[in-house]
Amino acid sequence: MPLTATAVRQALPKAKAYKLSDSHGLFLLVNPKGAKYWRYKYRYGGKEKTLALGVFPEVSLKDARVAHQEARAKLDKGLDPGQERRIEKLTRNLAAADSFEAVALEWFGRVMPDKSESYRVRTRRILEKDLFPVIGQRPVGAIKPPEMLAALRRIEARGANDIAHRAKQTAGQIFRYAVVTGRAERDPSADLKGALVPRNKKHHAAITDPAEVGRLMVAIDGFTGTPIVKTALQLSALLFQRPGEIRAMEWAEINWEQARWEIPAEKMKMRTPHVVPLCRQVLELLEELHLLTGRSRYVFPSARGASRCISENTVRIALRTMGYDKETMTAHGFRAMARTILDEVLGCRVDWIEHQLAHAVKDANGRAYNRTAHLEGRSQMMQQWADYLGQLRVQAEAGNVVNIRKA
């Protein structure tokens, strides 16, 4: 006699496990602790087998009968329901291993360790916030250009055009990794050229007029914040390296004997070592700051703990405190300030300036210069730059800035 829902619900545990049969091999197994399991007993290849169909009450009598019928249908086709289930499970596991998210995390673990922390965090945020929720569970080899475009359109919809382009670039790297590891045949993001809204052009405001530069140096000299932040401002102007490189400067990177700041490749945007000659004024500032932060790893340790450096907003906020808004001067603007004046006012060699900015500079044969190329000339240029900034500051204090134009 077939089971009823009431009989299943009222079945009580006994000292030993027992079965309540339904029909055609379907039965309810009740164990001594009261747990109730749906099972299907069948024969295949001359052997008796049992297939688990779920647990009551999560799987009702009706649901168990549907699963039972599906298993019988496979048996009627000459298939082993148990083996078919194992194949389906394996297929699902393989699909999960080849999902966009799984491949992306594998790629991230292999490619990202040698990247900067800020780049790793930014990339992880794009994956977790913008890509995984949309295409993360899709088989990486099955994603088509329209599907990829739809994911990027969601980012554009909130006005984040730059992030949409970064997400496309990141996805492209992941798809290409999937191709070389045999899990995709091509990169669908390659077909999206021109499909996105153009990037928002970044404008790093910079002061390039010598008179205004002089007044900026006066403002920095009179900065009333902490000595750490004040020195960061001063070195931003004197060394004109990227803001992230300035704030992450470490004492171990300072070569006092040769008066150099030797930045390792892993901290540079171009992933090549960089040498910054240190002029007299910079060495004096560092010697003074060393008394305060010399026991820390970083030259500019964070107020929240010496184990990390000041944040990327520190110099920016200091500039705002001094009265310079984002349309007038930025932390990155110190680079443009130096680039313009060294070339147009002081007449320094452009290749020396570009090399000092850590831009890619090649020789006449198209080969990249090594990190110590033109070091003597660059050292003289850096001293000339520091002296000129000092002159502008003195003249601004006196209200008389004179432009020294190149011949």
H helix runs in 222-267, sequence order: 227-239, 243-247
Cα–Cα dist 226/95, whole Å: 55
Q: Is 40 a catalytic residue?
A: no
Which of 176, 320, 369, 374 is the catalytic position?
Answer: 369
Q: Is 332 a catalytic residue?
A: yes
Give, in order, the Cα–Cα distances in Å from 349 to each of 16, 28, 199, 278, 340: 93, 88, 32, 18, 12
CA 292 to centroid of chain Cα atoms = 33
From the number of C-beta atoms within 10 Å of its C-beta (0-12, 13-18, 19+), residue 109 rates as: exposed
Using CA atoms in the order 272, 355, 357, 402, what is the torsion angle rounded to 10 degrees?
A: 170
Cα–Cα dist 338/162, whole Å: 27
Which of 332, 339, 371, 393 is the catalytic position?
Answer: 332
Which of 269, 326, 405, 406 is the catalytic position?
Answer: 269
Tell me the three state secondary structure of residue 319. Answer: helix
Q: Is 388 a catalytic residue?
A: no
Which of 65, 68, 215, 335 is the catalytic position?
Answer: 335
Cα–Cα dist 323/265, whole Å: 35
Which residues 6+ apart lie within 8 Å of 315 measured at CB? 229, 232, 233, 236, 243, 246, 247, 331
Which of 242, 247, 260, 371 is the catalytic position?
Answer: 242
Per the structure block, which two tokens stand in for 275? 């040498």
Which of 199, 203, 271, 359 is the catalytic position?
Answer: 359
Q: Is 359 a catalytic residue?
A: yes
Using CA atoms in the order 234, 239, 243, 244, what is the torsion angle rounded to 10 degrees?
A: -120
Cα–Cα dist 278/380, whole Å: 10
Which residues 6+ apart lie within 8 Å of 25 measured at CB? 40, 41, 42, 68, 72
Q: Is 186 a catalytic residue?
A: no
User: Which helix (H) or strand (E) element contains residue 40?
Assistant: strand 36-44
Q: Is 33 a catalytic residue?
A: no
Across 156-313, the runs of DSSP E, i.e. the strands, are 254-255, 260-263, 274-277, 301-302, 305-309
Active site residues: 242, 269, 332, 335, 359, 369
